[in-house]
Amino acid sequence: MRRAFTLIELMLVVIIISVLAAMVVPNLVGRSQEARVAAASGGIENLSVALGLYELDNGMFPSSEQGLRALKVKPSSSPTPPNWKRPYIKKIPKDPWGNPYTYASPGVHNTQDYDLSSFGPDGIESDDDITNWETEEE
């Protein structure tokens, strides 16, 4: 005797899978964006550690003109770092959206050291930027 699934059994399985998908999918939507924002914050933290080591060795942060490249290759432009000892980072990362992190020293927001940020998903300076400074909530 040959046994097979009836149409009602198959419909019941499809309905159960649909209900489960309807419950799970809304919880996952938007998580990839949250993960990218967290990754950008982590990238800023990693660059901040490398910049801290650079400053510890040289008594100053790279200038805006030298940029983050000074963490990988010893700058030849002024101000030349007196005790540049090593590459402070293996690779200069891009943010999770494929854009370079922005760096300015001295910073506009952090006038004693530097500003470091990602322009976020839209790639332009706006409210969704991820930064190393506190933004005022309106």
What's the length of the chain? 138
pLDDT tier for residue 135 given thresholds of 50, 70 and 90: low
Helix (H) or strand (E) holding 16, with range, is helix 7-28
- Measured from the Cβ of residue 70, the count of other Cβ atoms closer than 10 Å reads 25
Structure tokens at 91: 């690779």
What digits encode the pLDDT tens for the residues 72-129? 999 999 999 999 988 999 999 999 999 999 999 998 998 889 999 999 888 888 888 8
Q: What is the pLDDT of residue 138?
A: 43
Domain 35-131 has CATH 3.40.50.880: no
